[in-house]
Structure 1
Amino acid sequence: MSTDIDHVNDPDRRRYLKALAAIGAVGTTGIAGCLDEGNSSNGNKGGTLEVVHGWNSGDGKAAMEALKKAFDEEYPDVSTDYNGAGGDANSNLNTVIANRLQNNDLMGAFANWPGKHLERYKGALMNVEKDVWEEAGFKDTIHKATIEQCTFNDKMPAVPIGSHRMNNLFYNVQVFEEAGVDPKSLDSVDALISALKTIGQNTDAVPMTQAMSGPWTNLQLFAQILLSQSGVKAYTNFIDGNPDGKAIRSALKATKTILQNHIPDNASTLSMTEANEKIVNGSAGCVHQGNWLYGAYRKNDQVNYQKDWDWIPFPGTEGVYVFHLDSFVAPANNPTPKLTKQWLRFVGSKKAQITFNKNKGSVPLRTDVDPSKLPKYLQQMYEDLRSAKQLPPTIAHGLAVTPQTLTACEEAFRVNFMGPYKVEAAASDLESAVSN
């Protein structure tokens, strides 16, 4: 791992960029001007550290503001420019980053998902293993599963800032009590569907709220149901390109039952924020989402944990932590490599991890954090992460599959599973998506 970037003429890199052009992320077939980072560091006199991120609104805004303040207070002599490029599920951020790398308009660091998602930036990433991971001792203090996800093409271009758990079911306490539903009894998808029927019969609330302005939420729900019904092995086989057709169809049928019968009539127009508001105001019983929803609940003084809202692992996934990561990534040949490494060392520190995650609703990746410094809900998430024996990576958020595969999976849902719900067509397209 001695070189800082992938080879500039790697044919795989050109292939990935061509694929990105097809989905609107990059308009040409190469990233011009990507040289060895070691050459770019000569003569670095400081300059302004630019950090591009997608948290200029929504659940991440307060978290990013707190992180910026903490860094600027610790390093008052560093000139910084924090550039927000928000968008639904990172889509706008990904486009901004890819276009700027293509145009050699390089920033010091950018926020992104690591794992296989980094394929989209292949050939343009700095290796910070020695100067960040080893110098700061992160390999000994950051969760081992994270190390694997932040290693790409035998290099380490990223440092994680926080983890979201994906296999959650959040619920409105009053709605569940009125319906007579015991959340502890929900130990399977069948039990969940039965509870949704009960909520619909016994209350005026919609049983489950769902945002369907884009296909990723349905893909995400399907993934939890696949995991619940068929287990981690079937889930892992799916992301590894060996899908079990029977398991896929079973999960799609259950997903169809929920989406066709138990969600708002206007779900296709709802954003995630609008869908989640139904939990807050009591017009919906439950919602499946990542635990970034805690960031929204935390900001609302009208709702309190365990009194107004609560959560359980998605039914049938007890003991599993479906792994999602946010990270900061270092582009090679950027104008401020020393400041980039300084920023990344800070990102992995206890101070940064606690400051960011307690605001965002995510979980610190360091294993030496004092849980008492986190809110009560995040204390539970932190302990669950540390104790989990199985941490399958998320499909809908880039860790588990390449950008091309993720796009194909989303397309399978966009075409076949946004209503009406075509199980056989969606299953066939999903099998093709992960097998190619």
Structure 2
Amino acid sequence: MGANDDTLSRRTYLKATGAASAAGLGGLSGLLGQDFETLEVQHWWTGGDGAEAIQALFEGFQQKYPDIKVNQNPVAGGAGQNLHTVIKKRVLNDNPPSSWQAWPGANLLPFTRANKLENIEESVWSKNDMKSAYLKGPKQAARPSGNYVTVPLNIHRINNLFYNVNVVEQAGVDPSSISKPSDLLGAMKQVSNNTEAAGMAHQTKSGWSTMQLWTTVLLGEHGLDTYTAFTEGKVTQNEQAIKNSLQIVKDYKQYFNDDAGSIGWTEANKRILNGQAAFFHQGDWAAGMYSPETLEFQKGWNQVTFPGTEGLYMLNMDSFPFPTNNPSPEATTRFLRYVGSVDAQKRFNPKKGSIPPRTDVPKDAFGPFLQGQMEDFKQSKAQPPSTTHGLAVPPETLTNLEDAMATFISSWNVDRAYDGIVQAFQ
């Protein structure tokens, strides 16, 4: 066993000593060295950067624990929805895997309310200096009902504004001088007047990109307290702010690329790559499409914190929870301690294009863009959770909000969208 992992639970200790008294000391050493059940971990990283990153994580885990047999049981497709469906059924039928890839925060409330997740504060979170290395936002997401039940592995930032350097220079716009979301309209108008490019690359084929944009506008225009109140369901109390931020997004629409309704986010992102758009709001995964061969960082493309959200780091995260009726409690404990370690996060995140939730992971394995993001994260005043990715609201509310956004992008009717947002929390 590695450092910090030599404390066995009382149950294992009793199991081991009971067996030892029956089988002599040789039996005890065998148990302590080998007595691990197979670790079954389910995730949706079956292709691209996710597949590479999770393989790197498991390689590190197997080097540390060669005697734990790992059964990766991935569920592909549906941007994680297929896995959500499988897990919900398994967990509620008391047949969970050892652990699985899950958004932390409010996404886990259905499981904590049903008492299906274990408190892992003592067994996991008190090891590896985890509590001191994680900032408040990720720690809160790990304890949606008060107890620590999951371990965040990575962070994707939501409140980025990417831009094509050449287009904004041609338009005479300085992205770093835009102070709030409503001021971005003036910048996009300048782009439209002075260049052939669209003011903002965007997709409205599905609703999530617009929900992500709208919640970021709400945060930037009306502040953290208003955003937090919205996520807590205080919608009617913040009617003006919510309607105003919807109106700003509606006003952005005139500067979207003409084919926004028929393309996905990767196609929209290509508008930045080929100079057909000035700005693009997206999670930091968008930067994975920019390589030095296509567009060089800072010279060809760059990024600012979305106007009005400076000092805030809006989180999307993946984590690994510890279910009750765990088929491999000892192996899972070691796996979750490992997920929370510097070694695991150093292996996984550079390949995934995300940053570690631990603030003490060395930066040298990360490129210049992610190093900047790591610095922003470390210096951030607050780390609000993403609504669009299920960290800020429970699954049933998120489904209702997705319906409200689908209505919004089909009609662009602010009042109807607002009514849908009110109903989403009822």
Bin of the TM-score, shorter chain as denominator length: 0.7 to 0.9
- The alpha carbon displacement at 1:320 in A equals 1.8
For 1:65, give the aligned amino acid: Q
Is 1:393 the equivalent of 2:394? no
Match among 163, 183, 186 for residue 155 of structure 2? 163
Counterpart-to-counterpart distance in 2, 1:343 and 1:240: 33
Match among 347, 372, 395 for residue 355 of structure 1? 347
Distance 1:373 1:274, change over 3 A: same
Is 1:229 the equivalent of 2:229? no
Q: Report what 1:312 is aligned to.
A: 304
Q: Percent of aligned positions with the same letter in both sequences?
A: 38
Counterpart-to-counterpart distance in 2, 1:70 and 1:293: 27
- The alpha carbon displacement at 1:145 in A equals 2.6
Match among 97, 104, 111 for residue 114 of structure 1? 104
Is 1:409 the equivalent of 2:405? no
Q: Report what 1:149 is aligned to.
A: 141
Is 1:288 the equivalent of 2:301? no
- The alpha carbon displacement at 1:334 in A equals 2.5
Deviation track 1:279-319 (CA, whole Å, cap 9, x = no partner) reads 22333222111112233335x74232212211001112222
Q: Report what 1:34 is aligned to.
A: none
Q: Report what 1:62 is aligned to.
A: 52
In our comparison, the structure showing a higher alpha carbon Rg is 2
Is 1:204 the equivalent of 2:215? no
Using the TM superposition, name which of 382-391 and 78-87 deviates more.
78-87
Q: Report what 2:83 is aligned to.
A: 93
CA contact (8 A) 1:164 1:363 kept: yes
Counterpart-to-counterpart distance in 2, 1:222 and 1:42: 54
Is 1:79 the equivalent of 2:69? yes
Counterpart-to-counterpart distance in 1, 2:308 and 2:391: 22
Gaps of 5+ in 2: 1-10, 17-30
Is 1:251 the equivalent of 2:245? yes
For 1:284, give the aligned amino acid: A
3-state SS of paired residue (2:284) = coil
For 1:71, give the aligned amino acid: F
3-state SS of paired residue (1:320) = coil
3-state SS of paired residue (1:99) = helix
Is 1:428 the equivalent of 2:419? yes
CA contact (8 A) 1:213 1:267 kept: yes
For 1:128, give the aligned amino acid: I
Distance 1:423 1:66, change over 3 A: same
Using the TM superposition, name which of 210-219 and 245-254 deviates more.
210-219
Give the 5 Å matches for 1:318-333: 318-333=310-325
If the length of structure 1 is used for normalisation, what is the TM-score?
Answer: 0.84
User: What value does the CA root-mean-square deviation take over the aligned residues?
Assistant: 2.3
- The alpha carbon displacement at 1:104 in A equals 4.2
Counterpart-to-counterpart distance in 2, 1:76 and 1:317: 45
Counterpart-to-counterpart distance in 2, 1:301 and 1:77: 43
Distance 1:419 1:302, change over 3 A: same
Distance 1:265 1:322, change over 3 A: same
For 1:417, give the aligned amino acid: F
Is 1:213 the equivalent of 2:205? yes
Q: Report what 1:269 is aligned to.
A: 262
For 1:305, give the aligned amino acid: F
Is 1:175 the equivalent of 2:186? no
Q: Report what 1:20 is aligned to.
A: none
- The alpha carbon displacement at 1:433 in A equals 2.1
Using the TM superposition, name which of 202-211 and 233-242 deviates more.
202-211
Q: Report what 2:121 is aligned to.
A: 129
For 1:433, give the aligned amino acid: A
Match among 7, 21, 42 for residue 52 of structure 1? 42
- The alpha carbon displacement at 1:412 in A equals 0.8
Counterpart-to-counterpart distance in 2, 1:274 and 1:77: 45
For 2:252, give the aligned amino acid: I
- The alpha carbon displacement at 1:88 in A equals 4.5
CA contact (8 A) 1:294 1:360 kept: no
Counterpart-to-counterpart distance in 1, 2:417 and 2:70: 46
For 2:424, give the aligned amino acid: A
CA contact (8 A) 2:36 2:67 kept: no
CA contact (8 A) 2:272 2:280 kept: yes
Q: Report what 1:381 is aligned to.
A: 373
Distance 1:324 1:273, change over 3 A: same
Counterpart-to-counterpart distance in 1, 2:288 and 2:63: 24
CA contact (8 A) 1:228 1:316 kept: yes
Length, aligned pairs only: 394
Q: Report what 1:10 is aligned to.
A: none
- The alpha carbon displacement at 1:359 in A equals 1.9
Counterpart-to-counterpart distance in 1, 2:145 and 2:15: 25
